[in-house]
Amino acid sequence: MKTFAILSALAASTLAFPTTPISSLFSGNIQCPANKVQPDGKLPVDSISTSLLVQISAKEPNTAFPASDWAKITPNDFCTIFNLELPVDKTQGKVCNLVFDFPNIWEGPGLFKFYGSGDFTFTGYAIGVGAQNGTTTYNNQPSGGPSPPNPPPTLQPGNSYVVNSAPCGIPEGTPSPVTVSGSLCSSDTTFIFKQSDVVCPLGFYVVLTDA
């Protein structure tokens, strides 16, 4: 009955304060920013979230920051490395679309902070390697690999970007999953966000589409 009492109290307070109930913000009317592989802005079934985020700092180049759900990018200092684990069977014959979803809506208790003009550098690491919790530092990054050739020129709140699209190209029989990873840095922007999917997805995802 305790639960019921709490619910009644909430209902009573909603009546007492005729402001927009928070629940209405979560229902209807919210259009997540779309792109060509996320036409409704949501995550398709065939999508993969990050498995690990590790911050690194140019000004503390030997500090191994513990893995976190939060990415932190600051001008010429903090970058964040993102790992994604691709299940080999699911990628067969597919295009791997790396997206960055950046909704600009009321997202619960502050899921991002963004100050600056939004110029970012996307750096790719070698296929099969990624950040390691407790080991990766600015001076000890995963080995280099191909970076997205045509990343979006800027990231701005309220947009959803396709950072790179290419055939996944992972041979059948490769030990699964295959780690892909990259870092996000900036020369002019502070960007702190929680990789999450509350109302709209926020952060890096791989969306698989048919080739």
Ligand X SMILES: *[C@@H]1O[C@H](CO)[C@@H](O)[C@H](O)[C@H]1NC(C)=O
Residues forming contacts to ligand X in the complex (CB under 6 A) are 66-67, 133-134
Q: Quick one: 108 or 134, whose CB is closer to ligand X?
A: 134
Q: Is 147 helix (H, G, I), strand (E, B) or coil?
A: coil
3-state secondary structure 150-211: CCCCCCCCCEEEEEEEEECCCCCCCCCCEEEEEEEEECCEEEEEECEECCCEEEEEEEEEEC
Task: Give the shortest CB-54-to-ligand X separation in angstroms.
Answer: 9
Task: Give the shortest CB-66-to-ligand X separation in angstroms.
Answer: 4
Determine contact, residues 68/55, Cβ cutoff 8 Å. yes
Task: Give the shortest CB-57-to-ligand X separation in angstroms.
Answer: 17
Q: Quick one: 67 or 170, whose CB is closer to ligand X?
A: 67
Regarding beta strands 159-167 and 196-197, do their DSSP bridges make them parallel or antiparallel, or are they unpaired? unpaired
Q: Quick one: 133 or 174, whose CB is closer to ligand X?
A: 133
Paired with 96 in beta bridges are 166, 208
Task: Give the shortest CB-100-to-ligand X separation in angstroms.
Answer: 21
Q: Is 100 helix (H, G, I), strand (E, B) or coil?
A: strand
The CA distance from 90 to 166, in Å, is 15
Q: Quick one: 51 or 147, whose CB is closer to ligand X?
A: 51
Q: Quick one: 55 or 123, whose CB is closer to ligand X?
A: 55
Q: Tell me how far the alpha carbon of residue 74 is from its chain's centroid.
A: 16
Task: Give the shortest CB-203-to-ligand X separation in angstroms.
Answer: 15
